[in-house]
Chain A
Protein backbone atom coordinates (compact mmCIF):
# COMPACT_ATOMS: atom_id res chain seq x y z
CA UNK A 1 0.00 0.00 0.00
CA UNK A 2 1.70 3.14 -1.17
CA UNK A 3 -0.88 5.44 0.34
CA UNK A 4 -1.36 4.55 3.97
CA UNK A 5 -2.60 8.05 4.67
CA UNK A 6 -5.13 7.90 1.91
CA UNK A 7 -6.59 4.59 2.95
CA UNK A 8 -8.32 6.06 5.98
CA UNK A 9 -9.27 9.10 3.91
CA UNK A 10 -11.10 6.90 1.45
CA UNK A 11 -13.04 5.36 4.32
CA UNK A 12 -13.89 8.81 5.60
CA UNK A 13 -15.10 9.78 2.16
CA UNK A 14 -17.29 6.72 1.67
CA UNK A 15 -18.64 6.95 5.20
CA UNK A 16 -19.73 10.51 4.56
CA UNK A 17 -17.43 11.92 7.22
CA UNK A 18 -15.58 14.45 5.08
CA UNK A 19 -16.61 18.04 4.46
CA UNK A 20 -17.69 18.64 0.86
CA UNK A 21 -14.49 20.59 0.19
CA UNK A 22 -12.26 17.81 1.48
CA UNK A 23 -14.38 15.26 -0.33
CA UNK A 24 -13.92 17.03 -3.65
CA UNK A 25 -10.20 17.34 -3.12
CA UNK A 26 -9.87 13.67 -2.33
CA UNK A 27 -12.05 12.70 -5.28
CA UNK A 28 -9.72 14.67 -7.51
CA UNK A 29 -6.78 12.75 -6.12
CA UNK A 30 -8.50 9.40 -6.47
CA UNK A 31 -9.24 10.07 -10.11
CA UNK A 32 -5.56 10.38 -10.88
CA UNK A 33 -4.37 7.58 -8.62
CA UNK A 34 -4.82 3.97 -9.63
CA UNK A 35 -3.98 2.73 -6.15
CA UNK A 36 -6.67 4.83 -4.50
CA UNK A 37 -9.19 4.06 -7.23
CA UNK A 38 -8.67 0.39 -6.62
CA UNK A 39 -8.99 0.88 -2.88
CA UNK A 40 -12.22 2.82 -3.29
CA UNK A 41 -13.72 0.29 -5.66
CA UNK A 42 -12.85 -2.53 -3.29
CA UNK A 43 -14.52 -0.72 -0.45
CA UNK A 44 -17.62 -0.10 -2.54
CA UNK A 45 -17.69 -3.77 -3.50
CA UNK A 46 -17.36 -4.74 0.16
CA UNK A 47 -20.21 -2.46 1.09
CA UNK A 48 -22.41 -3.97 -1.61
CA UNK A 49 -21.46 -7.47 -0.46
CA UNK A 50 -22.32 -6.61 3.15
CA UNK A 51 -25.66 -5.16 2.10
CA UNK A 52 -26.39 -8.27 0.10
CA UNK A 53 -24.94 -10.90 2.41
CA UNK A 54 -25.07 -9.72 6.01
CA UNK A 55 -28.63 -9.54 7.34
CA UNK A 56 -30.17 -7.26 9.90
CA UNK A 57 -32.58 -9.04 12.19
CA UNK A 58 -36.15 -8.46 13.21
CA UNK A 59 -36.85 -8.81 16.89
CA UNK A 60 -39.16 -11.81 17.32
CA UNK A 61 -42.70 -11.07 18.51
CA UNK A 62 -42.13 -13.27 21.54
CA UNK A 63 -39.28 -10.98 22.55
CA UNK A 64 -41.43 -7.89 22.12
CA UNK A 65 -44.07 -9.44 24.34
CA UNK A 66 -41.50 -10.40 26.95
CA UNK A 67 -39.95 -6.96 27.06
CA UNK A 68 -43.34 -5.27 27.25
CA UNK A 69 -44.34 -7.45 30.18
CA UNK A 70 -41.01 -6.86 31.95
CA UNK A 71 -41.26 -3.12 31.51
CA UNK A 72 -44.81 -2.99 32.76
CA UNK A 73 -43.89 -5.00 35.86
CA UNK A 74 -40.76 -2.97 36.50
CA UNK A 75 -42.60 0.28 36.13
CA UNK A 76 -45.26 -0.74 38.64
CA UNK A 77 -42.51 -1.89 41.01
CA UNK A 78 -40.59 1.35 40.65
CA UNK A 79 -43.64 3.43 41.43
CA UNK A 80 -44.29 1.37 44.54
CA UNK A 81 -40.75 1.41 45.94
CA UNK A 82 -40.15 5.05 45.12
CA UNK A 83 -43.33 6.05 46.83
CA UNK A 84 -42.36 4.00 49.89
CA UNK A 85 -38.91 5.57 49.78
CA UNK A 86 -40.34 9.05 49.52
CA UNK A 87 -42.56 8.44 52.51
CA UNK A 88 -39.69 7.05 54.55
CA UNK A 89 -37.52 10.03 53.70
CA UNK A 90 -40.35 12.36 54.42
CA UNK A 91 -40.74 11.26 58.02
CA UNK A 92 -37.42 12.43 59.56
CA UNK A 93 -37.40 15.59 57.49
CA UNK A 94 -41.00 16.57 57.10
CA UNK A 95 -40.17 19.93 55.54
CA UNK A 96 -38.20 18.34 52.78
CA UNK A 97 -40.91 16.34 51.10
CA UNK A 98 -39.75 17.31 47.69
CA UNK A 99 -42.18 17.46 44.90
CA UNK A 100 -39.43 15.86 42.87
CA UNK A 101 -39.61 12.68 44.87
CA UNK A 102 -43.26 12.39 44.01
CA UNK A 103 -42.85 13.44 40.43
CA UNK A 104 -40.06 11.03 39.74
CA UNK A 105 -42.15 7.88 39.78
CA UNK A 106 -44.75 9.60 37.68
CA UNK A 107 -42.11 10.68 35.21
CA UNK A 108 -40.86 7.13 35.08
CA UNK A 109 -44.32 5.82 34.51
CA UNK A 110 -44.79 8.41 31.82
CA UNK A 111 -41.52 7.48 30.20
CA UNK A 112 -42.70 3.90 30.14
CA UNK A 113 -45.77 5.02 28.31
CA UNK A 114 -43.56 6.82 25.82
CA UNK A 115 -41.31 3.84 25.42
CA UNK A 116 -44.04 1.26 25.38
CA UNK A 117 -46.90 2.91 23.63
CA UNK A 118 -46.00 6.23 22.17
CA UNK A 119 -43.99 6.89 19.14
CA UNK A 120 -43.04 3.53 17.84
CA UNK A 121 -44.22 4.16 14.34
CA UNK A 122 -42.78 7.61 14.24
CA UNK A 123 -39.51 6.42 15.72
CA UNK A 124 -39.27 3.64 13.23
CA UNK A 125 -39.97 5.96 10.35
CA UNK A 126 -37.46 8.50 11.67
CA UNK A 127 -34.74 5.90 12.05
CA UNK A 128 -35.59 4.69 8.60
CA UNK A 129 -35.35 8.23 7.26
CA UNK A 130 -31.98 8.71 8.90
CA UNK A 131 -30.69 5.58 7.28
CA UNK A 132 -32.17 6.49 3.89
CA UNK A 133 -30.79 10.01 4.08
CA UNK A 134 -27.37 8.47 4.70
CA UNK A 135 -27.72 6.17 1.70
CA UNK A 136 -28.98 8.94 -0.55
CA UNK A 137 -26.16 11.23 0.53
CA UNK A 138 -23.54 8.53 -0.01
CA UNK A 139 -24.94 7.88 -3.47
CA UNK A 140 -25.02 11.57 -4.24
CA UNK A 141 -21.39 12.02 -3.20
CA UNK A 142 -20.41 8.95 -5.17
CA UNK A 143 -22.17 10.29 -8.24
CA UNK A 144 -20.00 13.40 -8.09
CA UNK A 145 -16.93 11.28 -8.61
CA UNK A 146 -15.82 11.28 -12.23
CA UNK A 147 -17.64 8.75 -14.34
CA UNK A 148 -20.30 7.95 -11.75
CA UNK A 149 -22.91 10.57 -12.53
CA UNK A 150 -25.04 9.02 -15.25
CA UNK A 151 -25.48 5.71 -17.01
CA UNK A 152 -27.51 7.35 -19.72
CA UNK A 153 -26.29 10.89 -20.32
CA UNK A 154 -29.05 12.64 -22.18
CA UNK A 155 -31.07 15.78 -21.89
CA UNK A 156 -33.95 14.12 -23.72
CA UNK A 157 -36.61 12.76 -21.43
CA UNK A 158 -37.73 10.44 -24.23
CA UNK A 159 -34.29 8.84 -24.21
CA UNK A 160 -33.88 8.66 -20.46
CA UNK A 161 -37.28 7.21 -19.58
CA UNK A 162 -37.16 4.19 -21.93
CA UNK A 163 -33.58 3.50 -20.86
CA UNK A 164 -34.95 2.27 -17.53
CA UNK A 165 -37.16 -0.33 -19.25
CA UNK A 166 -36.11 -3.79 -18.26
CA UNK A 167 -33.74 -2.45 -15.62
CA UNK A 168 -36.40 -1.64 -13.05
CA UNK A 169 -39.81 -3.01 -12.19
CA UNK A 170 -41.29 0.44 -12.65
CA UNK A 171 -41.09 3.19 -15.22
CA UNK A 172 -40.15 6.43 -13.48
CA UNK A 173 -41.71 9.69 -14.62
CA UNK A 174 -39.02 11.82 -16.27
CA UNK A 175 -39.58 15.54 -16.71
CA UNK A 176 -37.42 17.98 -18.57
CA UNK A 177 -37.18 21.21 -16.66
CA UNK A 178 -34.69 22.88 -19.01
CA UNK A 179 -37.18 25.63 -19.81
CA UNK A 180 -37.29 26.44 -16.11
CA UNK A 181 -33.52 26.52 -15.83
CA UNK A 182 -32.90 23.00 -14.60
CA UNK A 183 -31.77 20.94 -17.60
CA UNK A 184 -31.98 17.19 -17.42
CA UNK A 185 -28.48 15.69 -17.60
CA UNK A 186 -29.33 12.02 -17.60
CA UNK A 187 -30.27 9.04 -15.51
CA UNK A 188 -28.65 6.14 -13.77
CA UNK A 189 -29.43 3.07 -11.76
CA UNK A 190 -28.50 3.03 -8.12
CA UNK A 191 -29.12 0.83 -5.13
CA UNK A 192 -30.94 2.46 -2.21
CA UNK A 193 -33.23 1.13 0.49
CA UNK A 194 -32.36 -2.42 -0.46
CA UNK A 195 -33.61 -2.12 -4.02
CA UNK A 196 -32.50 -0.82 -7.41
CA UNK A 197 -33.82 2.69 -7.93
CA UNK A 198 -33.94 5.27 -10.67
CA UNK A 199 -31.86 8.41 -10.24
CA UNK A 200 -32.40 11.43 -12.45
CA UNK A 201 -29.74 14.08 -12.60
CA UNK A 202 -30.46 17.74 -13.24
CA UNK A 203 -28.10 20.67 -13.46
CA UNK A 204 -28.18 24.28 -12.38
CA UNK A 205 -25.06 26.21 -13.32
CA UNK A 206 -22.19 24.17 -11.81
CA UNK A 207 -24.48 22.46 -9.32
CA UNK A 208 -25.89 18.98 -9.65
CA UNK A 209 -29.20 17.75 -8.38
CA UNK A 210 -29.83 14.05 -7.95
CA UNK A 211 -33.46 12.93 -7.80
CA UNK A 212 -34.03 9.45 -6.39
CA UNK A 213 -37.42 7.87 -6.82
CA UNK A 214 -39.00 4.50 -6.31
CA UNK A 215 -42.56 3.25 -5.82
CA UNK A 216 -44.15 3.67 -2.42
CA UNK A 217 -45.17 0.58 -0.58
CA UNK A 218 -48.88 0.41 -0.01
CA UNK A 219 -50.34 3.12 2.14
CA UNK A 220 -47.00 4.69 2.89
CA UNK A 221 -46.95 8.43 2.88
CA UNK A 222 -44.51 10.64 4.71
CA UNK A 223 -44.74 14.25 5.62
CA UNK A 224 -42.25 16.17 3.47
CA UNK A 225 -38.98 16.32 5.25
CA UNK A 226 -35.80 18.27 4.94
CA UNK A 227 -32.37 17.84 6.34
CA UNK A 228 -28.89 19.12 5.73
CA UNK A 229 -25.84 16.99 6.04
CA UNK A 230 -22.22 17.83 5.39
CA UNK A 231 -23.11 20.84 3.34
CA UNK A 232 -25.64 19.03 1.17
CA UNK A 233 -29.38 19.57 1.25
CA UNK A 234 -31.66 16.57 1.28
CA UNK A 235 -35.37 16.78 0.57
CA UNK A 236 -37.88 14.01 0.83
CA UNK A 237 -41.56 13.72 -0.03
CA UNK A 238 -43.99 11.14 -1.23
CA UNK A 239 -46.64 11.16 -3.89
CA UNK A 240 -49.35 8.51 -4.01
CA UNK A 241 -47.08 6.57 -6.33
CA UNK A 242 -43.49 7.44 -5.55
CA UNK A 243 -41.04 8.16 -2.78
CA UNK A 244 -38.81 11.04 -3.71
CA UNK A 245 -35.42 11.98 -2.31
CA UNK A 246 -33.46 14.90 -3.68
CA UNK A 247 -29.83 15.67 -2.88
CA UNK A 248 -27.86 18.72 -3.94
CA UNK A 249 -25.43 21.40 -2.90
CA UNK A 250 -27.54 24.00 -4.69
CA UNK A 251 -28.62 26.93 -2.55
CA UNK A 252 -31.77 26.36 -0.60
CA UNK A 253 -34.03 28.84 -2.39
CA UNK A 254 -33.31 27.41 -5.81
CA UNK A 255 -33.54 23.86 -4.59
CA UNK A 256 -36.96 24.56 -3.15
CA UNK A 257 -37.95 26.10 -6.45
CA UNK A 258 -36.76 22.95 -8.20
CA UNK A 259 -38.66 20.69 -5.82
CA UNK A 260 -41.81 22.72 -6.39
CA UNK A 261 -41.44 22.45 -10.17
CA UNK A 262 -40.93 18.72 -9.92
CA UNK A 263 -43.98 18.32 -7.72
CA UNK A 264 -46.08 20.37 -10.12
CA UNK A 265 -44.86 18.37 -13.10
CA UNK A 266 -46.04 15.14 -11.51
Chain B
Protein backbone atom coordinates (compact mmCIF):
# COMPACT_ATOMS: atom_id res chain seq x y z
CA UNK B 1 0.00 0.00 0.00
CA UNK B 2 2.24 2.77 -1.24
CA UNK B 3 0.88 6.19 -2.14
CA UNK B 4 1.57 7.93 -5.44
CA UNK B 5 3.62 5.06 -6.73
CA UNK B 6 2.22 5.18 -10.26
CA UNK B 7 2.93 8.90 -10.48
CA UNK B 8 6.45 8.33 -9.16
CA UNK B 9 7.06 5.47 -11.57
CA UNK B 10 5.69 7.41 -14.53
CA UNK B 11 7.98 10.35 -13.85
CA UNK B 12 10.95 8.03 -13.39
CA UNK B 13 10.12 6.18 -16.60
CA UNK B 14 10.11 9.35 -18.65
CA UNK B 15 13.15 10.66 -16.86
CA UNK B 16 15.29 7.61 -17.41
CA UNK B 17 13.54 6.26 -20.53
CA UNK B 18 14.22 2.82 -19.18
CA UNK B 19 12.13 0.42 -17.07
CA UNK B 20 14.89 -1.00 -14.93
CA UNK B 21 16.46 2.36 -14.14
CA UNK B 22 13.03 3.75 -13.36
CA UNK B 23 12.40 1.00 -10.82
CA UNK B 24 15.75 1.64 -9.15
CA UNK B 25 15.03 5.36 -8.99
CA UNK B 26 11.62 4.80 -7.42
CA UNK B 27 13.02 2.43 -4.85
CA UNK B 28 15.76 4.89 -3.88
CA UNK B 29 13.27 7.73 -3.81
CA UNK B 30 10.89 5.98 -1.40
CA UNK B 31 13.80 5.19 0.85
CA UNK B 32 14.77 8.86 0.85
CA UNK B 33 11.16 9.82 1.42
CA UNK B 34 11.14 7.65 4.51
CA UNK B 35 14.26 9.39 5.81
CA UNK B 36 13.00 12.88 5.12
CA UNK B 37 9.44 12.25 6.12
CA UNK B 38 9.69 14.11 9.41
CA UNK B 39 10.88 17.13 7.45
CA UNK B 40 7.69 17.07 5.46
CA UNK B 41 5.30 19.86 6.39
CA UNK B 42 2.71 19.67 3.66
CA UNK B 43 -0.91 19.11 4.39
CA UNK B 44 -2.92 18.12 1.35
CA UNK B 45 -2.52 14.96 -0.67
CA UNK B 46 -1.68 17.07 -3.69
CA UNK B 47 1.30 18.60 -1.95
CA UNK B 48 2.33 15.15 -0.69
CA UNK B 49 2.42 14.03 -4.28
CA UNK B 50 4.46 17.05 -5.37
CA UNK B 51 6.81 16.42 -2.45
CA UNK B 52 7.30 12.82 -3.43
CA UNK B 53 7.79 13.71 -7.09
CA UNK B 54 10.44 16.21 -6.02
CA UNK B 55 12.32 13.40 -4.33
CA UNK B 56 11.93 11.13 -7.35
CA UNK B 57 13.20 13.87 -9.61
CA UNK B 58 16.17 14.68 -7.39
CA UNK B 59 17.02 11.01 -7.07
CA UNK B 60 17.04 10.64 -10.84
CA UNK B 61 19.04 13.81 -11.21
CA UNK B 62 21.65 12.72 -8.69
CA UNK B 63 21.88 9.26 -10.21
CA UNK B 64 22.55 10.71 -13.60
CA UNK B 65 25.08 13.19 -12.30
CA UNK B 66 26.91 10.46 -10.51
CA UNK B 67 27.01 8.65 -13.80
CA UNK B 68 25.75 5.59 -12.03
CA UNK B 69 24.88 3.12 -14.77
CA UNK B 70 25.80 4.70 -18.05
CA UNK B 71 22.78 2.99 -19.48
CA UNK B 72 20.67 5.25 -17.35
CA UNK B 73 20.89 7.88 -19.98
CA UNK B 74 23.20 8.56 -22.83
CA UNK B 75 22.81 12.26 -22.78
CA UNK B 76 25.09 14.75 -21.16
CA UNK B 77 23.64 16.92 -18.46
CA UNK B 78 22.88 19.95 -20.53
CA UNK B 79 20.51 21.63 -18.15
CA UNK B 80 22.69 24.68 -17.76
CA UNK B 81 23.87 25.17 -21.28
CA UNK B 82 21.39 23.83 -23.74
CA UNK B 83 19.59 26.36 -25.85
CA UNK B 84 17.87 23.79 -27.97
CA UNK B 85 14.72 22.14 -26.77
CA UNK B 86 15.66 19.06 -28.70
CA UNK B 87 18.25 16.69 -27.46
CA UNK B 88 20.19 16.10 -30.65
CA UNK B 89 21.86 12.92 -29.57
CA UNK B 90 22.11 10.93 -32.76
CA UNK B 91 19.69 8.04 -33.06
CA UNK B 92 20.70 4.61 -34.11
CA UNK B 93 20.26 4.02 -37.80
CA UNK B 94 17.39 1.59 -37.41
CA UNK B 95 15.68 4.02 -35.11
CA UNK B 96 15.85 6.68 -37.73
CA UNK B 97 14.43 4.40 -40.34
CA UNK B 98 11.71 3.18 -38.02
CA UNK B 99 8.17 4.25 -38.65
CA UNK B 100 7.22 7.90 -38.43
CA UNK B 101 8.15 9.78 -35.35
CA UNK B 102 5.37 9.40 -32.86
CA UNK B 103 4.50 11.89 -30.20
CA UNK B 104 5.77 9.55 -27.50
CA UNK B 105 9.10 9.20 -29.22
CA UNK B 106 9.31 12.93 -29.80
CA UNK B 107 8.81 13.39 -26.08
CA UNK B 108 11.58 10.91 -25.38
CA UNK B 109 13.85 12.90 -27.64
CA UNK B 110 13.31 16.16 -25.82
CA UNK B 111 16.09 17.17 -23.47
CA UNK B 112 15.27 16.15 -19.92
CA UNK B 113 14.42 19.61 -18.62
CA UNK B 114 11.79 19.98 -21.32
CA UNK B 115 10.53 16.43 -21.06
CA UNK B 116 9.98 16.64 -17.33
CA UNK B 117 7.82 19.76 -17.48
CA UNK B 118 5.57 18.11 -20.07
CA UNK B 119 5.24 14.97 -17.95
CA UNK B 120 4.52 16.94 -14.79
CA UNK B 121 2.02 19.26 -16.44
CA UNK B 122 0.25 17.09 -19.01
CA UNK B 123 0.40 13.66 -17.43
CA UNK B 124 0.33 14.54 -13.75
CA UNK B 125 -1.58 17.79 -13.80
CA UNK B 126 0.75 19.76 -11.55
CA UNK B 127 0.38 23.54 -11.35
CA UNK B 128 3.24 25.78 -12.50
CA UNK B 129 4.11 26.45 -8.88
CA UNK B 130 4.29 22.76 -8.07
CA UNK B 131 6.39 22.08 -11.16
CA UNK B 132 8.68 24.89 -10.10
CA UNK B 133 9.09 23.23 -6.70
CA UNK B 134 9.69 19.79 -8.15
CA UNK B 135 12.25 20.93 -10.71
CA UNK B 136 13.85 23.65 -8.63
CA UNK B 137 13.59 26.38 -11.26
CA UNK B 138 11.55 29.61 -11.19
CA UNK B 139 7.96 29.62 -12.45
CA UNK B 140 9.02 31.80 -15.39
CA UNK B 141 11.48 29.13 -16.48
CA UNK B 142 8.78 26.48 -16.15
CA UNK B 143 6.59 28.54 -18.45
CA UNK B 144 9.22 29.06 -21.12
CA UNK B 145 10.27 25.42 -21.06
CA UNK B 146 6.67 24.28 -21.36
CA UNK B 147 6.11 26.64 -24.23
CA UNK B 148 9.18 25.50 -26.15
CA UNK B 149 8.53 21.83 -25.48
CA UNK B 150 4.98 22.21 -26.74
CA UNK B 151 6.10 24.07 -29.83
CA UNK B 152 8.46 21.20 -30.59
CA UNK B 153 5.82 18.52 -30.04
CA UNK B 154 3.41 20.44 -32.23
CA UNK B 155 5.91 20.35 -35.06
CA UNK B 156 5.93 16.60 -34.76
CA UNK B 157 2.15 16.47 -34.80
CA UNK B 158 2.07 18.64 -37.87
CA UNK B 159 4.60 16.40 -39.63
CA UNK B 160 2.44 13.43 -38.75
CA UNK B 161 -0.28 15.16 -40.62
CA UNK B 162 -2.32 15.26 -37.46
CA UNK B 163 -2.85 18.99 -37.31
Interface residues in chain A, defined as those with a beta carbon under 8 Å from any beta carbon in chain B:
7-8, 11-12, 15-17, 42-43, 45-47, 49-51, 53-60, 62-64, 66-68, 70-71, 74-75, 78, 104, 107-108, 111-112, 115-124, 126-127, 130-131, 134-135
Q: Which stretch (B61-69, B73-81, B88-96, B150-158) binds chain A?
A: B150-158
Q: Say how far B4's CB is from chain A's closest CB, in angstroms.
A: 6
Q: Say how far A73's CB is from chain B's closest CB, in angstroms.
A: 9
With A12-B143, A46-B154 known to touch, is A71 a contact of B30 (CB < 8 Å)?
yes
What 1/0 flags go to B1-22 for Cβ under 8 Å of A?
A: 1111111111001000000000
Report the count of interface residues on B (CB-CB < 8 A). 48
Identify which of A54, A62, A115 contacts B123 (C-beta below 8 A).
A54
Are A74 and B3 touching (Cβ within 8 A)?
no
With A46-B154, A59-B6 known to touch, is A53 a contact of B103 (CB < 8 Å)?
yes
With A45-B157, A54-B123, A57-B13 known to touch, is A74 a contact of B31 (CB < 8 Å)?
yes
With A8-B147, A42-B163 known to touch, is A127 a contact of B7 (CB < 8 Å)?
yes
Are A43 and B150 touching (Cβ within 8 A)?
yes
Are B46 and A108 touching (Cβ within 8 A)?
no
Are A119 and B3 touching (Cβ within 8 A)?
yes
Identify which of B7, B9, B34, B122 contacts A71 (C-beta below 8 A).
B34
B109 within 8 A of A: no
Identify which of B9, B103, B128 contacts A17 (C-beta below 8 A).
B128
Tell me the interface secondary structure of chain A in the complex.
Answer: helix
Interface residues in chain B, defined as those with a beta carbon under 8 Å from any beta carbon in chain A:
1-10, 13, 23, 26-27, 30-31, 33-35, 37-38, 44-46, 48-49, 102-104, 107, 118, 121-125, 127-128, 143-144, 146-147, 150, 153-154, 157, 162-163
Residues in chain B near residue A67, CB distance under 8 A = 2, 5, 26-27, 30
Residues in chain A near residue B13, CB distance under 8 A = 57
Residues in chain A near residue B31, CB distance under 8 A = 70-71, 74
Q: Say how far B109's CB is from chain A's closest CB, in angstroms.
A: 13
Identify which of B26, B146, B162 contacts A11 (C-beta below 8 A).
B146
Could you list 22 A-B pairs, sorted by A, with CB under 8 Å? Answer: A8-B143, A11-B143, A11-B146, A15-B121, A46-B153, A46-B163, A49-B157, A53-B103, A54-B103, A56-B6, A57-B9, A67-B5, A70-B27, A74-B34, A108-B38, A120-B1, A120-B3, A121-B1, A126-B46, A130-B49, A131-B124, A135-B125
Residues in chain B near residue A53, CB distance under 8 A = 102-104
Residues in chain B near residue A112, CB distance under 8 A = 34
Q: Say how far B104's CB is from chain A's closest CB, in angstroms.
A: 5
Q: Say how far B163's CB is from chain A's closest CB, in angstroms.
A: 5
Residues in chain A near residue B102, CB distance under 8 A = 53
